[in-house]
Amino acid sequence: MKNTFCGAFNCFKVKEMSQQELVKVTFPDGEIATYPKGTPILQIIQTKKDVSSSITAVRANGNLLDLSSPILDDSKLEFISFDSEEGQDILRHSTSHVMAQAVQELYPGVKVSIGPSIENGFYYDFDCERSFTPEDLEKIEVRMREIIAQDLPIRREELSKKEAIKSYKDKGELYKVELLEEIPDERVTLYSQGNFTDLCRGPHLPSTGKIKAFKLTSVAGAYWRGDEKNKMLQRIYGTAFADQERLDQYLHRLEEARKRDHRKLGKELELFSFNEEVGAGLVIYHPKGALLRRLLEDFEVREHLRRGYHLVKGPQILKVDLWKKSGHLENYQEYMYFTEVEEQKYGLKPMNCLAHMIIYQSKIRSYRDLPLRYFELGTVHRHERAGVLHGLSRVREFTQDDAHILCTPEQLDQEIKAIIDFVADVMKIFDFDFEMELSTRPEKSIGSDEDWGKATSALKRVLEENNSPYQINEGDGAFYGPKIDVILKDVLDRRWQCATIQCDFSLPERFDLSYIGNDGEKHRPVMLHRVILGSLERFMGVLIEHYAGAFPTWLAPVQVVILTITDKHIPFGEEVFNKLVSHSIRVEKDFRNESLRLKIREAQLQKTPYMLVIGDKEAQEGGVSPRHRSGKNLKLMPLSEFVALIEQESKFPT
């Protein structure tokens, strides 16, 4: 049998071979070709000249492989392109290795730990005596470009765990030794380029020269393995893309995200603060922030009452025996706080469901009473590690727009659908797109396989009947039931998890909840746990960044600011102020003896929707000349007309 193969590195003619020495390769387009057993994948795909430069790796019979890997069996190939999610992960992971190589070459003695790809980028954690500076990042980038220009082959090596441990001990890389000692496999893989070798599963790019566009973005502290009891390491973040244009677009979004950072805007707009004397992860709301929160709460109450929910409220602490009964003590204790009152141990609630079940138990329920929808703006406390606290996004005390729906099994699908519709309605009001994930049973959980199967099937069935696209998130359900997580996409196309719908057969069983059916017998209800906005704190943080602090008029803590030109205009300014206040318009006054330009600039920085400049003309005609924060000036109008304008914009959206 004759076959000719030409690649970038060599061109050879396959001589007469037995069938056993050839392997059959099926390409994604259906073409089939034969090659000598052991031919590197890179040489094989180079016969596909129209696609070879865009490929980072392949799947061969479902297994993800480096391009340097040999083909040993008949294989069906799938190409992994730079544009795919997997392709970007491979690119970024390879770039993190180049960064680690550059750091160790520039700063001898630095120890490396882990360097994975993450969403939109990568990082690597280093043990270094000196603190990395922005100037250091620039030096590291220069060295990385030199390594990339050398187009060093990235080589995969397999060896015994024992050999790898000895090698890393000899180098003093104790973080790698610790990782190796926990790997159950007897053989491990290492990847090398130049004089740098890293413990890694792979896959990786075939050479460093395949990296085209990257940027180191920041440096931060990170405890080894996320445990504050361990040493603080230095984490360098970066990102990489297939080409410079995409990198530039991402860096632009990153800069925009920095401008919108809710921690920065929260301080500038006087919304909230944190104070170490108070405690980490505990939010202090300033007047404008407290008002923003109340506006969201009022919106929530109205929307829930419209949909047949009952307002309830449970206590902040409940006896530990109740948390034991629910399974929280066994499965959630590490996130809980405890206290003792008169020798009785209590747990601060991390969730609101227990009190809601107690309310359900307070009387005999009939099938005619169901579904029952209990809603609470419930404040909860969770023990989050200091290292994961982040502005409003991750705090230790927060309020959920929490509800629990108790229904018959026959009502389950319609209630799930109603929640999905509720989420869609609310997200449209705030201009959010969203996607959904179905999270299945975690390893640490309660309840029977049968109940988990019924709950998962119900969520999946409704998603599919509703034509709602979703991804499966294996093993990430709540400990008592599977869930649908709603992932918001903000104006910068970033993802945020907020709403969730959890289907629970387990807690009704543990608390012996029942209703009398139309057959006169007792039956077990199903419980849906759900939030729409989720944590109010987190949602406020997302909103601040989504709107860049420029809230729509109905949500703005301050809707109007009155600016006087001189002191003689103050009397009419006071008249306007009192009129607006009497119509429940949220208004502030700036009657300082400062220039009008300064006052306007400060009002714009505060993102106030409207400014009313009061001068001679306004005072004489008894009207106002509104200026929108966009810079647009409206005509002089009677005060009553402006009041009507604000009242129209202040209506709760529907």
User: pLDDT per residue over 11-39, tens digit each?
Assistant: 444 444 444 589 898 988 888 888 898 88
Question: Tokens 């001898």 appear where?
Answer: 108
Contact assessment for residue 142 and residue 205, using Cβ atoms and an 8 Å cutoff: no
Q: Across the chain, what does the average pLDDT equal?
A: 91
Helical (H) or strand (E) element with 439: strand 433-439
Q: What do you get for the CA distance between the two ends of the chain, in Å? A: 73
Q: Reduced to 3 states, what is the DSSP secondary structure of residue 258?
A: helix
**Closest C-alpha to 649, from 613, 611, 609, 612:** 609
Q: What does the pLDDT look like over 167-185, one tens digit per residue?
A: 999 999 999 999 999 999 9
Of the listed ranges 7-11, 133-137, 216-220, 567-571, the one predicted with least confidence? 7-11
Helix-helix angle 134-149:85-106, to 10 degrees: 110
**Closest C-alpha to 647, from 590, 572, 600, 579:** 579
Give the per-residue pLDDT at 51: 63
Phi and psi torsions of 439, nearest 5°: -100, 130
Residues in a beta bridge with 625: 613
Going from the C-alpha of 341 to that of each of 344, 347, 423, the distances in angstroms are: 5, 11, 40
Q: Does domain 3-81 have CATH number 3.20.20.70?
A: no
**Closest C-alpha to 491, from 240, 252, 253, 245:** 253
Geometric angle at alpha carbon 640, from 636 and 642, rounded to 5° = 55
Give the CATH architecture of domain 560-649: 3-Layer(aba) Sandwich (3.40)
Q: Where in the chain is the domain with CATH 3.30.980.10?
A: 86-251
The pLDDT confidence band at residue 50, using thresholds 50, 70 and 90, is low
Residue 454 has pLDDT above 70, yes or no: yes
Average pLDDT score over residue span 418-444: 94
Q: Which residues contact 574 (CB under 8 A, 6 or more apart)?
A: 589
Average pLDDT score over residue span 421-448: 93
Instruction: Specify the long-range contacts of residues 57-61, CB closer than 8 Å, at least 24 apart.
Output: 57/86, 57/87, 57/90, 57/203
Give the per-residue pLDDT at 81: 85
Residues acting as catalytic residues: 353, 382, 400, 402, 404, 483, 529
Helical (H) or strand (E) element with 305: helix 287-306
**Cis peptide before 409, with omega less than 30 degrees from 0?**
no
- SS3 readout for 268-287: HCCCEECCCCCCCCCCEECH
For domain 86-251, the CATH class is alpha beta
Residue 3 has pLDDT above 70, yes or no: no
CA–chain centroid gap for 394, Å, is 11
Residue 56 has pLDDT above 90, yes or no: no
Of the listed ranges 65-69, 311-315, 544-548, the one predicted with least confidence? 65-69
Helical (H) or strand (E) element with 626: strand 623-628
Q: How far apart are CA 172 and CA 183, in angstroms?
A: 19
Q: How far apart are CA 485 and CA 478, in angstroms?
A: 11
Average pLDDT score over residue span 441-468: 93
Q: Which two tokens stand for residue 457?
A: 């099937």
Q: What does the pLDDT look like over 523-569, one tens digit per residue?
A: 999 999 999 999 999 999 999 999 999 999 999 999 999 999 999 99
Q: Where in the chain is the domain with CATH 3.30.930.10?
A: 273-546
Q: How far apart are CA 148 and CA 94, in angstroms?
A: 11
User: To the nearest whole percent, how much of the chain has pLDDT over 90?
Assistant: 77
Q: How far apart are CA 54 and CA 13, in angstroms?
A: 27
Q: How far apart are CA 601 and CA 132, in angstroms?
A: 37
The pLDDT confidence band at residue 228, using thresholds 50, 70 and 90, is confident
Q: Where in the chain is the domain with CATH 3.10.20.30?
A: 3-81
Amino acid at 203: P
**Closest C-alpha to 5, from 53, 30, 38, 28:** 38
Give the per-residue pLDDT at 14: 41
CA–chain centroid gap for 98, Å, is 27
Q: How far apart are CA 637 and CA 648, in angstroms?
A: 16
Indicate the pairing of strand 470-473 with strand 433-439.
parallel
CA–chain centroid gap for 178, Å, is 30
- 512 vs 48, which has greater pLDDT? 512
Q: How far apart are CA 262 and CA 393, in angstroms?
A: 9
Residues in a beta bridge with 531: 402, 500
* Count of CB atoms situated within 10 Å of the CB of 510: 15
Residue 5 has pLDDT above 50, yes or no: no
Superfamily of domain 273-546: Bira Bifunctional Protein; Domain 2 (3.30.930.10)
Q: How far apart are CA 403 and CA 398, in angstroms?
A: 15
Going from the C-alpha of 622 to that of each of 560, 572, 633, 640, the distances in angstroms are: 17, 8, 18, 10
The pLDDT confidence band at residue 356, using thresholds 50, 70 and 90, is very high
Q: Where in the chain is the domain with CATH 3.40.50.800?
A: 560-649
Q: How far apart are CA 372 and CA 359, in angstroms?
A: 11
Residue 61 has pLDDT above 60, yes or no: yes
Q: Reduced to 3 states, what is the DSSP secondary structure of residue 541?
A: helix
Geometric angle at alpha carbon 439, from 438 and 442, rounded to 5° = 160
Q: What is the pTM of this model?
A: 0.79
Contact assessment for residue 217 and residue 223, using Cβ atoms and an 8 Å cutoff: no
User: To the nearest whole percent, how much of the chain has pLDDT over 70?
Assistant: 96
Contact assessment for residue 338 and residue 347, using Cβ atoms and an 8 Å cutoff: yes
Amino acid at 380: V
8-state DSSP, 480: T
Average pLDDT score over residue span 381-392: 89
